Structure 1
Amino acid sequence: MSDVRVIIQRDSEREERVVTTGTTAADLFAGERSIIAARVGGELKDLSYVVADGEEVEGVEISSEDGLNILRHSTAHVMAQAVQELFPEAKLGIGPPVKDGFYYDFDVEKPFTPEDLKAIEKKMQEIQKRGQKFARRVVTDEAAREELANEPYKLELIGLKGSASSDDGADVEVGAGELTIYDNLDAKTGDLCWKDLCRGPHLPSTRLIPAFKLMRNAAAYWRGSEKNPMLQRIYGTAWPSKDELKAYLDFLAEAEKRDHRKLGNELDLFSIPEQIGSGLAVFHPKGGIVRRVMEDYSRRRHEEEGYEFVYTPHATKGKLFETSGHLDWYAEGMYPPMQLDEGVDYYLKPMNCPMHNLIFDARGRSYRELPLRLFEFGTVYRYEKSGVVHGLTRARGFTQDDAHIYCTREQMSEELDKTLTFVLGLLRDYGLTDFYLELSTKDPEKFVGSDEVWEEATETLRQVAEKQGLPLVPDPGGAAFYGPKISVQTKDAIGRTWQMSTIQLDFNLPERFDLEYTSADGSKQRPVMIHRALFGSIERFFAVLLEHYAGAFPAWLAPVQAIGIPIGDGHVDYLAKFAAAAKKKGLRVEVDSSSDRMQKKIRNAQKQKVPFMVIAGDEDMANNAVSFRYRDGSQENGIPFDEAIAKIAQVVEERTQV
């Protein structure tokens, strides 16, 4: 047998090794249990892959991003096998890995029940213990059609080979190049147990699936199109260890407790009435307080930074969006037009920027006015499909804290730097502290303007982002059609990432709107335009903070900052005087004068997550004092009346948590 030279890559280290012909990737990494696949020349391969002379081979750890995808895709195959063993009539759709898990689509007579999912999971455990081997084989199109003649959806995918899109998960089945089938083989006899059309790679054996759980099922259109049949989709999750699975399930349980829709109902903050429509929320009095405080603080900080407030209408003639380009590039996200004024189309606005451009252009502008910072709490309307609408975080009507800054080319870098610094500082004021930045660059299929302008804008944003000393992550093709952007990404209290503020640099809309200012030498010049949404939308930011704090807002944002709890009826008037004095200091204080016993009043206040419970009895009244009970159950007794009010006011002023 001849020798084969291979290079084994481990992090930054390269090891050259001479092996015999026929050596597999599994042989190269024998004894390394965490290696479940290989990357050869940049492509993922099964461990059964036979290495060739001169190839670079890197082991894929199960805990890496690629490793997790392989683990989860392999588990999806085990689930599909289990379904067809229990429901032989089930037809197979697709089964890709997704964030934190996997799914598989099935065509079955009736939807799966919770009992069905339990049975499927039990069958999966049996298959996992059998230690079936995943074996890859290349097939011709004709052979694949013959083998999968009873699988209509697989036959359709064979016809799509080379053009399947990762958006619908089809590329995990066929991709491009060779057509392959993966067999699940009996570990002892090698007999075929099950097979699936798939590009792979997979784990060597089902026994290497350490921990999994089925989560739920839902209806889903075949390949995401409502023109296609409705299938049943089962979601699951899989992890490299039972401890990691438990941690993930605990995380989901905590996330469910923090779900803003659930908390919004429990704390009486907002609702989304069916009579109004999906994605269109109403804020209740308590939620209205939180929102007003958020807006008031933001408004004050903007005024300090030199922003000027403007107001624009909710609808406009369609011609405005022809000029801006939104009807060319964004029509699918807009509500249909309304026919008014002898056939003139009017649209609900999806963006505020075109109207701000008209404000800039309402009169002649001088270089002395720049930078001009226009700001609006502007309500916009976007036609989101019903499947993606989600409470306040993905709504159809929402209010943006929208700013558009007009400056000279010379002012551009400094203004962007100031804007990003201001944005991060204000987000920190609301209690978010863990950030990274994302730089979204041109979509080569969807942009206006020259390549040179895009390159200048992108490089300027890159330099501005790097000044902050935060991690900078590329987002290729993620920019809007008119310019690149920086997105501020933040992690909440349980580690989830949310996109917050965006800053976009735009040389194109000023051109489309023919915006000009008079320069120092009297010539007409084109301003640069910076788009900036700090909250993104007030509704979404409200939801993020609600989940971040699990409803226990810091005192400055809490709808009720303190609630008086009398020990007996004789103490109600005393606490009412306390509340009245506190309100004169601008504090939001109520008194629970209900007939409930004191302990129930405390429980009610804890459920409502009120920062300060102000308790008073005979001794407190005699000493002109009160007692504090905090949300964590701790208590502080005998605080003088005026000192107690001052303490609440100080916590509110300092925007700290109690």
Structure 2
Amino acid sequence: MIKLTLPDGSIREIESAQSAAEVIKGIGMGLYKAACCVKINGEVCDLRTVIDSDCHFEVCTFDSIDGKKTFWHTASHILAQAVKRLYPAAKLAIGPAIENGFYYDFDLEKPFTPEELEKIEGEMKKIVKEGIALEKFELSPADAIAKLKEMDEPYKVELCEEHADKGEPISFYKQGEFIDLCAGPHLMDTAPVKAFKLLSCTGAYWRGNENNKMLSRVYAIAFPKASQLDEYIKMIEEAKLRDHKKLGKELSLFMFDHTAPGMPYWLPRGWKLFNALLEYWRGVHEDHGYTEISGPVLSKKELWVTSGHWDHYQDGMFVIPAEEDNEVYCAKPMNCPNAIKVYMNKQRSYKELPLKFNQVDVIHRKEKSGELNGLFRVQQFRQDDAHILVTEEQIASEINDIMDIATEIYKTFGLEYKAELSTRPDDYMGDINVWNKAEADLKAILEEKYGPDGYELNEGDGAFYGPKIDLKMKDAIGREWQMGTIQLDFQLPLNFKMKYIASDGSEKQPVMIHRAIFGSFERFIGIITENFAGAFPFWLSPMQVGIVPIRTDHNEYAKKVADLLKKNHIRAEADYTDDNMKNKIRKFKDYKDPYVVIIGDSEAENEQVSINIRGNKQLKNVPLDRFIEMCRTMNEEHSLDIIDTL
């Protein structure tokens, strides 16, 4: 008998070897129809995989990340088959599943037009309706290369040749007349891919290298049900309206210039928003015992050699030769060596630990030009960094405190998050036993805080120096974002020979915890700009009160109002021009200022204001001192609401 341990700990026995598909059918046909792939001992596998020994067995449906990836990967093959049917001369490159859907790269004479994408969708519908079985087969490296050359697929030949020296069989999937080089896994046939949409066609360099040929990349999405696709399309349309690049321009928050690609210019209104966010962030960290530091933007190569970034991250760094002193400098891609140098500035005692450094210095990471995306993917940004030096005994309490900080911050923005544990990658540094201990520590912390099923596991996606906890949240329209990260690091303290004097007088090595809650200020501002559709909470709004004197003879009182607001740390702007009152109001409304204050004869005579509240509600003849107190309260409480009644 072969024993299969299911996720709930129960055991299912089968008499002899059989495919995962047959095992699932034995559990229930409903589950089989929903199954996309399986995990066998934690490894994602095809439903065709034969189970011939005891193992842990998990069925992955579309509701899981691995299930979605398998579903979307199969959909990408359906797309490629449709393209080859309609455009036989097209050459295939790659077609992976991505975070939201999939894409396929094609070598064509010209990119597809919207009309051609509709035509391809029509052919895809035929392929789905045909319910074509996907059949896996393997060839020796030599036969695989010969097969791909015969098929006249040069990009596939290149990929195949890179793996030929391993001597391992090369896998293919056959789908009717269509054959593709692929490791899988895939669905059993094309029928389940019932709802899909080709979203766009853009240019993409082969393998992301601008020296290679530009290919045509078709982005797409697919779902098992039409209702899921409809919901997604609605979300996409809403996302277009909320696009932070569009809103950033309309609200005068930030700009970019070709002379500094991927390096945002913050405009006056945007910088006020940035600093409001920074002030809040600093206050939270002061309350939790952090000390803010700052360090050099440029450091010699030797620092990054010691840290390990030179070997593991050199391609992502801006390297600057200094010919006069025959040195090589690097613009820092992260702040951790700064925190280490500050720690090592003097001898440390166990009495100082935990030592918590937070830091918002400018850092630089070299990205491919085609991957830059507004504030989401930049080359210059400010990480909301912190590095905590602890004893091993303090790890659990500090990570729990970080989780409390994350909960406090995300709650302030009305955001919910979940945790994901990422484990040892293939290019890890250090002792595997240290890694095993670190991973076990983090699992124990997450299970205690959220329960055994309250977090997700992402095998092999940790940093090269230690496992990490990633924090993911959903925004107002249901999109999931990778936000903060908490990384446990035994390796960098070892590399830099960091020590502290223990209670018994011996020298011990501290553990470093790297963590960010926003990810970066730039990216977080991009996300919340879309989350709030530019209508920020009062405390965060670039300008909180717009002041409109009806006539120029009301300017004197309007200035008094503006001065009092500013004195009380309320961001206010007044329009003292002789423009039409409605135009002035419209200008501040277009900027989405929470309150637009109207100043006329009655208001000036009685020390009052009348208020247009964002959302078109009005309050008339409000005492000025009461309005100021209302604004002060919202700033102090970091309220998500705009008070619309007194």
Aligned in 2, Cα 1:530/1:267: closer, same or farther, shift over 3 Å? same
Matched, 1:35 2:26: no
Q: What residue in structure 2 maps to residue 327 of structure 1?
A: 310
Structure 1 residue 351 corresponds to structure 2 residue 353: no
CA deviations over 1:385-432 (Å, ceiling 9, x no partner): 223332222222222233333333444433333343234323433x14
Q: Give the Å deviation of 1:35.
A: 1.5
Aligned to 1:387: 370
Q: Which residues in structure 2 correspond to 1:359-378 (within 5 Å)?
A: 359-378=342-361
Secondary structure, counterpart of 1:647 in structure 2: helix
Cα distance, 1:250 vs structure 2: 1.2
Residues 633 and 523 from structure 1, CA distance in 2 versus in 1: closer, same or farther, beyond 3 angstroms?
Answer: same
Q: 1:228-267 counterparts in 2 under 5 A?
A: 229-267=213-251
Whether the aligned pair in 1 keeps the contact of 2:173 and 2:179 (CA below 8 Å) is no
Matching of residue 83 in structure 1 with residue 77 in structure 2: no
Alpha-carbon shift at residue 83 of structure 1 (Å)? 2.8
Q: Contact 1:441/1:476 (CA < 8 Å) preserved in 2?
A: yes
Does the C-alpha gap of structure 1 residues 34 and 619 become closer, same or farther in structure 2, counting only changes over 3 Å?
farther
**1:444 deviation in Å?**
4.4
- Aligned AA (1:390): N
Q: CA 1:550/1:565 → structure 2, altered by over 3 Å: closer, same or farther?
A: same
The 10-residue stretch of structure 1 (584-593 or 134-143) with the greater mean CA deviation from structure 2: 134-143
How far has the Cα of 1:127 moved from its partner?
5.4
Give, as a single letter, the amino acid of the residue that structure 2 aligns with 1:589. A
When structure 1 is superposed on structure 2, of 416-425 and 146-155 the one drifting more is 146-155
Structure 1 residue 295, shift from structure 2 partner: 1.7
The alpha-carbon deviation at position 303 of structure 1 amounts to 2.8
CA drift at 1:334: 1.6
Q: Give CA deviations for 1:226-265 in whole Å, capped at 9, x if unaligned.
A: 5654322222222223322121111112222222222211
CA deviation string 1:575-634 (max 9, x = no partner): 332222222211111123345443343333222111112123444445443222222122
Q: What amino acid does structure 1 have at the position aligned with 2:282?
A: R
Question: What does the per-residue CA deviation read over 1:345-367, in whole Å, with 9 as the maximum and x for residues that have no partner?
Answer: 22222222223222222233333
Cα RMSD over matched residues? Answer: 4.2
The C-alpha deviation readout for 1:263-318, integer Å capped at 9, x for no partner, is: 2111111112112x222112111111111122222223333333233221111222
Other structure's SS at 1:387 match: helix
* Corresponding residue number in structure 2 for 1:501: 484
The letter of the residue matching 1:35 is K
Q: Is the 8 A contact 1:35 1:61 kept in 2?
A: no
One-letter identity of the residue aligned with 1:235: Y
CA distance in 2, matches of 1:438, 1:146: 41
- 1:92 maps to a residue whose letter is L
Q: Which residue of 2 aligns with 1:156?
A: 157
**CA distances 1:103-132 after superposition (whole Å, capped 9, x unpaired):** 222222222223332333344445556x36
2: CA distance between counterparts of 1:335 and 1:263?
Answer: 30
Amino acid at match of 1:90: A
Gapped regions of structure 1 (runs ≥ 5): 166-174, 185-193
The one-letter code matched in structure 1 to 2:119 is A
> Which residue in 2 is equivalent to 1:473?
456
2:610 corresponds in structure 1 to 627
**Contact 2:204–2:370 (CA<8 Å) still a contact in 1?**
no
CA contact (8 A) 1:29 1:35 kept: no
* Aligned equivalents of 1:31, 1:472: Cα separation in 2: 29
Greater displacement, 253-262 / 599-608: 599-608
- Per mean C-alpha deviation after superposition, the further-off stretch among 145-154 and 552-561 is 145-154
Sort the Cα spacing of 1:257 and 1:621 in 2 relative to 1 into closer, same or farther, 3 A.
same
User: Residues 486 and 30 (structure 1 numbering): CA distance in 2 closer, same or farther, change over 3 Å?
Assistant: closer
- Per the alignment, residue 438 of structure 1 pairs with 420
Shift, 1:496, TM fit: 2.3
Report what 2:104 is aligned to: 104
1:216 aligns with 2:200: yes
Find 1:44's aligned residue among 43, 46, 51: 46
TM-score (ref. length: structure 1): 0.82
Instruction: Give the Cα separation in 2 of the matches to 1:630 and 1:509.
Output: 52
In structure 1, distance between residues paired with 2:489 and 2:65: 35
Alignment partner, residue 118 of structure 1: 118
1:454 corresponds to: 435
Aligned to 2:628: 645
Correspondence list, 1:609-624, <5 A: 609-624=592-607
Displacement after TM superposition at 1:206 (Å):
5.8
Contact 1:161/1:176, CA 8 A, preserved across alignment: no
Amino acid of the residue matched to residue 317 of structure 2?
M
Q: Could you state the TM-score of these two structures normalised by the residue count of structure 2?
A: 0.84
Contact 1:183–1:196 at 8 Å: present in 2 too? no
Q: Which letter does structure 1 place at the counterpart of 2:117? A: L
User: 2:91 is matched by which residue type in structure 1?
Assistant: K
Corresponding pairs, count: 631
1:136 and 2:138 aligned: no
Show CA shifts across 1:433-488 (max 9, x none). Answer: 3111222322243212x233333333333333344337322232223233222232
- The CA deviation string for residues 627-657 of structure 1, in whole angstroms up to 9 with x for no partner, is 2222212222232222122222222222113
- DSSP-derived class of the 1:336 partner: strand
Corresponding residue number in structure 2 for 1:598: 581
Secondary structure at the residue paired with 2:303?
helix
Q: In 2, are the aligned partners of 1:404 and 1:532 still within 8 Å (CA)?
A: yes
Rounded to whole Å, the distance in 1 between the matches of 2:325 and 2:188 is 69
- Give the aligned partner of residue 294 of structure 2: 311
1:548 maps to 531
Cα shift at 1:139: 7.6
Q: Which moved more, 1:532-541 or 1:407-416?
A: 407-416
Q: Which residue in 1 is equivalent to 2:517?
A: 534
Rounded to whole Å, the distance in 1 between the matches of 2:266 and 2:336 is: 26
* Separation of aligned partners in 2, 1:530 and 1:422: 14
Q: Distance in 1 between matches of 2:253 and 2:156?
A: 51
8 A contact 1:504–1:530 mirrored in 2: yes
8 Å contact 1:40–1:56 — kept in the other structure? Answer: no
Write the letter of the residue equivalent to 1:183: G
- Is the alpha carbon distance of 1:99 and 1:363 closer, same or farther for their aligned partners in structure 2, counting shifts above 3 Å? closer
Offset of residue 558 of structure 1: 0.8
Note the alpha carbon deviations across 1:130-168, whole angstroms, 9 max, x for none: x36446375867599569724324761794597799xxx
| Greater radius of gyration (CA) | 1
Unaligned runs of 5+ in 2: none
Q: Which amino acid aligns with 1:213?
A: K
Question: Which string of whole-angstrom CA distances, capped at 9 and with x for unpartnered residues, describes residues 366-399 of structure 1?
Answer: 3333333233222222222223332222222222
Distance of 1:258 and 1:274 partners within structure 2: 24
CA distance in 2, matches of 1:511, 1:60: 40
Match of 1:511 in 2: 494
CA distance in 2, matches of 1:269, 1:65: 35
Identity of aligned residues (%): 37
1:35 match: secondary structure: helix
Once the two structures are overlaid, the 10-residue window that deviates more, 465-474 or 578-587, is 465-474
Tell me which of 394, 405, 412 is aligned to 1:422: 405
SS of corresponding position for 1:394:
coil
CA distance in 2, matches of 1:326, 1:79: 39
**Is the 1:6–1:51 contact (alpha carbons within 8 Å) kept by the matching residues of 2?**
no
